[in-house]
């Protein structure tokens, strides 16, 4: 009989663990509360099924343990019961799937006013590119990357000239403004993941992937790479700072554009040339 | 085993002509009538030397044991690797030689070994070989020679895999999914010899496995004995048969992706490699697609989950039925569920790729197909527990493992619904929730079945019981230990702890979980050590276990009804058995005993009110 008691303890223990767990969601800091809600729904329905199935099993263990000569039911099939269970399960599955698909539909349809932010990933670091005043990112290509053009921006594309380049792994975002993250990778797969924002997507070399969210809590957040990318994977961290509109504007005004960068580099070249000449 | 073997070592004559005339002479309205045999019996090659009997052996039962032992060896290697990983996660930098490179190599080899070389080989190669001919009433697999080569190909594949531990750079550390481009680029451990040996080993495995798989399928379809209709086969055979069919369709995708990636690595082709800037240098690749590899890999990888799960479903159904002395509830639904799950498993692969950057519209399709699969799977669970209802349950070690399976499988199945539902998957994917889910559902649950099956069939293979007391200790430590490893691990995933992290440093998410990580590591060490009880039990019981005799569990299925225990080469002595019913006639009203074997003709149990045969 003790076997049934231990199984029962496992089920009760699982429920208690779930109720009293100190480990739960990292506080949400984006618009994706709907994802948490779908998960909670799945928890209630799924957890309920788990508990019912296991309790039924334990009941059978207590009630029908071996006794010589016990009368055993002989009923190979019961179509009515089987059909009922099929229908009930189907309803349960639809109840879980339907809200999930609604949320997913939101996830893949970016709002029109979303700020585009290009995340550039490589082994093992991050940098960012934001559109300039035209609101459009210039086209870019991995093959064009050089010291003078760290993002590989297409020089013939006028949209690229005013792009804001952030050669640093700290990204600033404005609170309550939707962001469309456009992911590019120079080498292998990466994934730009902030647990508090819930959203994530892989960066793939050769393709631009995307996702969106709307940060709604001021603060500093750690970015983790969530797609294995080699030995440096675990160290591939970055930072997102969500701040008020004012602070964000101040920050963005300090950043250099692609034209600034080209001008700076040319200045430097001139200077080094001058210094070299002077030394001669 | 060898003593009985010699007595039976006479060539077995073809019996078919005799049996044919035998049954055609009988009255057609006879209640014991069974359709005559349609094909002649095969002649078997009998080994005479030690080498032909035990090494290059053509007897499926010996091949099954060979597969089993080789797979268990790889499993032990996988287990030790998991210990090393857990040590690093629970107690970072405690073991000085576990560097990040090594950690990722352990992760990769642990995953690949456990999924392919351990579980797949064990269920299909091990249980499949041993049980298929016995349970369908055949003398052996239909192509015994090919079957032998199948094992030796597998053996070579394992050798190549193990060799990669000893080459310069060590084994590959690309993660078991081997995603390009990183798998073949510097920055990932073992990016030269390691990955190539892994791909070669997988290729050999697929080749060897195809030989075995064709054997299993054709034996089930062609070599069943008289009266063994498809709908009278034990669910074990249905599970193994369907899983093999899946393997035949899924493994080619793995093979081609392994070949293409080898070409990308060795010849510089660009199947999976786009333009890449590596350490400031432009590589010569152009135009390939890393996502293509993922599609190919998961087209294999998802059916692979069911290649492991379906045999486990089948076996556990039979174990539950025998040890609860009751027919499996809803047999026909169980069969259709197995076949249906198998078919559906080819339409769900991209649920592993919701955040891979594939076309986001795929998410709708694959979430729907994935959740549809939950329906037949749930029905199977219901049928297992309904089988226990008003049964007469022997609470022995075998049954404990079955019950442990139900709990872990339901748990892992439900977390599968989380991950299959695309919106729920997005925050959880690539976190520890995923690790907890798949270990629960395709690690622990199938392991419960394997262990239960070993306790169940050990008397058949060796003629002796395993020790019950040790068995129960083994069960409780393994079950409770494994459950306490993986149940809390889900909550790490909620926190957002990403998987495949060598170290978390002092990230805000993880500091609260340090204690849990230490606890999980300790539990993993204990569960691993507890397997020594199991091995000790097997070794000792081989010598001094309680003799089992014939059909010790009072089961109905054919494997217990051989003239010799353990069954000799050729399985059935002079005459093949004739089948009159399904294998689940337990406690039939009106019958004297609480079981009616498949070979009992209706005239012997004339009072039994059998509803279905």
pLDDT at B22 over 90: no
- Please choose, from the candidates B209, B42, B12, B232, the residue with its C-alpha nearest in 3D space to the C-alpha of residue B128: B209
Angle, CA of B563, B565 and B568, to the nearest 5°: 70
Distance, in Å, from the CA atom of B312 to the CA atom of A190, rounded to the nearest integer, reads 35
Does the beta carbon of B293 lie under 8 angstroms from any beta carbon of chain A?
Answer: no
Distance, in Å, from the CA atom of B593 to the CA atom of A59, rounded to the nearest integer, reads 26
- Please choose, from the candidates B192, B276, B99, B500, the residue with its C-alpha nearest in 3D space to the C-alpha of residue A230: B500
Residue-level pLDDT at B21: 40
Does the beta carbon of A37 lie under 8 angstroms from any beta carbon of chain B?
Answer: no
Residue of chain B with shortest Cα separation from A210: B357
- Residues in chain B within 8 Å Cβ distance of A229: 182, 187
pLDDT at B4 over 60: no
Q: What crossing angle do the helices spanning B445-462 and B468-495 adopt, rounded to 10°?
A: 160
- Report B:150-209 residues touching A (Cβ under 8 A): 173-175, 179, 181-182, 185, 187-189
> What DSSP string runs through A101-147?
HHHHHHHHS--TTPEEEEEEEETTEEEEEE--TT--PPPB-GGG-BT
pLDDT at B10 over 60: no
Distance, in Å, from the CA atom of B500 to the CA atom of B177, rounded to the nearest integer, reads 12
- Residues in chain A within 8 Å Cβ distance of B279: 123
- Would you call A49 and B428 a contact, using CB atoms and an 8 Å cutoff? no
- Would you call A23 and B512 a contact, using CB atoms and an 8 Å cutoff? yes
Residue-level pLDDT at A61: 94
Positive/negative CA dihedral, B244, B450, B528, B381: positive
Residue-level pLDDT at A280: 63
Token readout for B409 is: 């499988």
Does the beta carbon of B603 lie under 8 angstroms from any beta carbon of chain A?
Answer: no
Residue-level pLDDT at A75: 86
- Would you call B430 and A193 a contact, using CB atoms and an 8 Å cutoff? yes
pLDDT in tens, B83-134: 999 999 999 888 889 999 999 999 999 999 999 999 999 999 999 999 999 9
Distance, in Å, from the CA atom of A140 to the CA atom of A123, rounded to the nearest integer, reads 19
280 residues of chain A, pLDDT tens digit each? 578 999 999 999 999 999 998 888 889 999 999 999 999 999 999 999 999 999 999 999 999 999 888 888 888 889 999 999 999 999 999 999 999 999 999 999 999 999 999 999 999 999 999 998 888 899 999 988 988 888 999 988 888 888 999 999 999 999 999 999 999 999 999 999 999 999 999 999 999 999 999 999 999 999 999 999 999 999 999 999 999 999 999 999 999 888 888 888 777 777 777 777 776 6
Under 8 Å between Cβ of A40 and A25: no
Contacts of B315 (CB under 8 A, 6+ apart): B127, B235, B236, B239, B449, B452, B453
Phi-psi region of B279 (alpha: psi -120 to 50; beta: other; left: phi over 0): left
Distance, in Å, from the CA atom of B132 to the CA atom of B140, rounded to the nearest integer, reads 8
Residue-level pLDDT at B5: 41
pLDDT at B39 over 80: no
Distance, in Å, from the CA atom of A192 to the CA atom of A223, rounded to the nearest integer, reads 7
Element (H, E) at B155: helix B144-163
pLDDT in tens, B565-595: 899 988 888 889 999 999 999 999 988 888 9
Q: Where are the domains of chain A?
A: 2-64+79-108, 115-270
Give me the mean pLDDT over the B17-34 stretch: 54
- Residues in chain A within 8 Å Cβ distance of B403: 3, 7, 57, 61
Which of the four pLDDT bands, split at 50, 70 and 90, describes residue B612?
Answer: low
Which of A64, A74, A101 is the closest to B589 by Cβ? Answer: A74
Residue-level pLDDT at A274: 72
- Would you call B427 and A200 a contact, using CB atoms and an 8 Å cutoff? yes
- Would you call B329 and A75 a contact, using CB atoms and an 8 Å cutoff? yes
> A19: how many CB neighbours lie within 10 A of its CB?
7
Positive/negative CA dihedral, A154, A159, A161, A164: negative
pLDDT at B51 over 90: no
Distance, in Å, from the CA atom of B408 to the CA atom of B479, rounded to the nearest integer, reads 9
Give me the mean pLDDT over the B143-154 stretch: 96
Does the beta carbon of A22 lie under 8 angstroms from any beta carbon of chain B?
Answer: yes
> A207: how many CB neighbours lie within 10 A of its CB?
16
Angle, CA of B443, B523 and B75, to the nearest 5°: 40
- Which of A45-59, B85-99, B308-322, B399-413 shows the lowest per-residue confidence on average (mean pLDDT)? B85-99
Give me the mean pLDDT over the B206-232 stretch: 94
Measure B440 CA to nearest chain A CA, in Å.
14
Which of the four pLDDT bands, split at 50, 70 and 90, describes residue B165?
Answer: very high
pLDDT at B598 over 90: yes
Beta-strand pair A125-130/A164-166: antiparallel
Task: Pick A115-270's CATH classification: 3.40.630.10, 1.10.3720.10, 2.60.40.420, 2.60.40.180.
Answer: 2.60.40.420
pLDDT at B9 over 50: no
pLDDT in tens, B504-531: 877 877 777 888 999 999 999 999 999 9
- Would you call A145 and B277 a contact, using CB atoms and an 8 Å cutoff? yes
Per this entry, what is the length of chain A? 280
Beta-strand pair A170-174/A237-243: parallel
| Helix boundaries (H) for B324-421 | 331-344, 362-388, 397-420
pTM for the structure as a whole: 0.92
- Please choose, from the candidates B336, B339, B334, B304, the residue with its C-alpha nearest in 3D space to the C-alpha of residue B316: B334
- Would you call B357 and A123 a contact, using CB atoms and an 8 Å cutoff? no
Does the beta carbon of A187 lie under 8 angstroms from any beta carbon of chain B?
Answer: yes
- Would you call A46 and B417 a contact, using CB atoms and an 8 Å cutoff? yes
- Would you call A53 and B385 a contact, using CB atoms and an 8 Å cutoff? yes
Token readout for A197 is: 């924002």
Element (H, E) at A79: helix A79-108
- Residues in chain B within 8 Å Cβ distance of A237: 507
Token readout for B379 is: 């029905």
In chain B, what percentage of residues exceed pLDDT 90? 81
- Residues in chain A within 8 Å Cβ distance of B480: 6, 10
Does the beta carbon of A20 lie under 8 angstroms from any beta carbon of chain B?
Answer: no
In chain B, what percentage of residues exceed pLDDT 70? 95
Residue-level pLDDT at B537: 96
Burial class (CB in 10 A: 0-12, 13-18, 19+), B144: buried
Residue-level pLDDT at B27: 46
Under 8 Å between Cβ of A126 and A192: yes
Residue-level pLDDT at B17: 36
Distance, in Å, from the CA atom of B457 to the CA atom of B61, rounded to the nearest integer, reads 12
pLDDT at B597 over 70: yes
pLDDT at B228 over 60: yes
- Residues in chain B within 8 Å Cβ distance of A78: 329-330
- Which residue of B190, B395, B424, B429 to mutate against A (max A Cβ within 10 Å)? B424
Residue in this structure with the two tokens 């230990």, named with its chain if needed: B481
Which of the four pLDDT bands, split at 50, 70 and 90, describes residue B47?
Answer: confident
> B15: how many CB neighbours lie within 10 A of its CB?
17
């Amino acid at each position: 009989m003790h076997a049934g008691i231990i199984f029962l303890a496992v089920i009760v223990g699982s429920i208690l663990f779930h109720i009293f767990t100190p480990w739960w969601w990292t506080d949400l800091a984006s618009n994706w509360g709907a994802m948490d809600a779908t998960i909670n729904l799945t928890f209630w329905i799924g957890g309920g099924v788990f508990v019912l199935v296991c309790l039924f099993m334990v009941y059978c263990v207590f009630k029908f343990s071996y006794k010589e000569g016990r009368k055993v039911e002989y009923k190979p099939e019961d179509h009515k019961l089987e059909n009922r269970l099929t229908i009930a399960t189907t309803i349960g599955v639809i109840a879980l799937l339907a809200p999930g698909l609604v949320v997913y539909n939101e996830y893949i349809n970016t709002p029109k006013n979303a700020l585009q932010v290009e995340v550039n990933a490589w082994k093992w670091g991050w940098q960012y590119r934001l559109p300039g005043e035209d609101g459009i990112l210039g086209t870019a290509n991995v093959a064009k990357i050089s010291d003078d053009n760290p993002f590989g921006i297409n020089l013939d594309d006028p949209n690229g000239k005013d792009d804001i380049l952030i050669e640093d792994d700290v990204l600033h975002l404005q609170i309550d403004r939707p962001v469309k993250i456009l992911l590019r990778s120079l080498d292998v797969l990466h994934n730009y993941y902030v647990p508090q924002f819930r959203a994530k997507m892989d960066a793939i070399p050769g393709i631009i992937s995307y996702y969106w969210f709307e940060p709604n809590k001021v603060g500093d957040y750690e970015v983790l790479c969530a797609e294995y990318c080699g030995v440096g994977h675990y160290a591939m961290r970055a930072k997102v700072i969500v701040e008020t509109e004012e602070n964000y504007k101040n920050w963005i005004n300090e950043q250099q554009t692609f034209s600034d960068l080209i001008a700076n580099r040319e200045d430097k070249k001139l200077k080094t040339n001058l210094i070299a000449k002077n030394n001669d | 085993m060898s003593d009985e073997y010699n007595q039976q070592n006479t060539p077995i004559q073809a019996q078919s002509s005799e049996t044919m005339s035998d049954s055609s002479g009988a009255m057609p309205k006879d209640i014991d009538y069974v359709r005559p045999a349609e094909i002649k019996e095969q002649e078997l090659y009998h080994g005479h030397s030690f080498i032909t009997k035990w090494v290059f052996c053509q007897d499926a039962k010996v091949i099954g044991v060979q597969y089993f032992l080789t797979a268990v060896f790889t499993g032990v290697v996988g287990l030790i690797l998991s210990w090393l990983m857990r040590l690093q996660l629970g107690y970072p930098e405690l073991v000085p030689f576990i560097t990040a490179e090594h950690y990722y190599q352990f992760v990769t080899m642990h995953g690949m070994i456990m999924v392919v070389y351990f579980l797949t080989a064990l269920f299909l190669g091990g249980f499949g070989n041993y049980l298929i001919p016995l349970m369908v009433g055949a003398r052996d697999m239909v192509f015994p020679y090919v079957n032998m080569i199948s094992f030796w190909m597998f053996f070579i594949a394992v050798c190549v895999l193990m060799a990669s531990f000893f080459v310069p750079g060590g084994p590959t550390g690309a993660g078991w999914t081997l995603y390009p481009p990183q798998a073949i680029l510097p920055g990932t451990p073992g990016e030269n010899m390691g990955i190539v040996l892994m791909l070669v080993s997988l290729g050999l495995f697929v080749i060897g496995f195809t030989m075995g798989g064709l054997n299993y399928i054709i034996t089930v379809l062609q070599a069943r004995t008289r009266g063994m209709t498809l709908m009278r086969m034990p669910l074990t055979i249905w599970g193994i048969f369907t899983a093999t069919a899946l393997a035949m369709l899924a493994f080619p995708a793995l093979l081609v992706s392994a070949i293409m990636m080898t070409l990308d690595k060795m010849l510089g082709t660009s199947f999976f490699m786009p333009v890449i800037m590596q350490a400031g240098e432009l590589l010569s690749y152009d135009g390939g697609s890393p996502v293509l590899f993922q599609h190919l890999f998961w087209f294999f990888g998802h059916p692979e989950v069911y290649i492991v799960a379906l045999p486990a479903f089948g076996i556990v159904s039979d174990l539950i039925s025998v040890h609860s002395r009751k027919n499996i509830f809803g047999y026909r639904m169980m069969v259709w569920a197995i076949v249906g799950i198998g078919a559906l498993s080819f339409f769900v692969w991209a649920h592993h790729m919701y955040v891979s950057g594939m076309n986001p519209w795929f998410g709708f399709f694959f979430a729907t197909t994935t959740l549809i699969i939950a329906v037949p799977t749930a029905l199977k669970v219901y049928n297992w527990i309904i089988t226990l209802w008003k049964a007469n349950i022997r609470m022995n070690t075998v049954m404990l493992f079955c019950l442990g399976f139900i709990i872990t499988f339901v748990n892992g199945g439900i977390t599968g619904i989380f991950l299959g539902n695309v919106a729920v998957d997005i925050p959880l994917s690539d976190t520890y929730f995923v690790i907890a889910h798949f270990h629960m559902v395709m690690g622990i649950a199938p392991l419960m079945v394997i262990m239960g099956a070993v306790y169940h069939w050990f008397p058949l293979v060796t003629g002796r019981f395993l020790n019950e007391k040790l068995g129960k200790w083994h069960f409780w430590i393994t079950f409770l230990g494994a459950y306490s490893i993986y149940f809390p691990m889900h909550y790490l995933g909620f926190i957002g702890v990403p998987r495949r992290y060598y170290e978390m440093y002092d990230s805000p998410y993880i500091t609260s979980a340090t204690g849990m990580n230490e606890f999980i590591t300790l539990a993993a060490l204990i569960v691993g050590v507890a397997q020594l009880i199991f091995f000790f039990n097997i070794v000792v019981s081989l010598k001094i276990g309680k003799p089992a005799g014939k059909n010790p569990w009072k089961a109905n299925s054919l494997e217990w009804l051989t003239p010799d225990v353990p069954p000799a080469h050729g399985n059935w002595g002079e005459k093949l058995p004739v089948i009159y019913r399904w294998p689940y006639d337990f406690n039939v009203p009106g019958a004297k005993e609480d079981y009616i074997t498949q070979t009992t003709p209706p005239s012997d149990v004339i009072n039994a009110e059998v509803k279905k045969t």
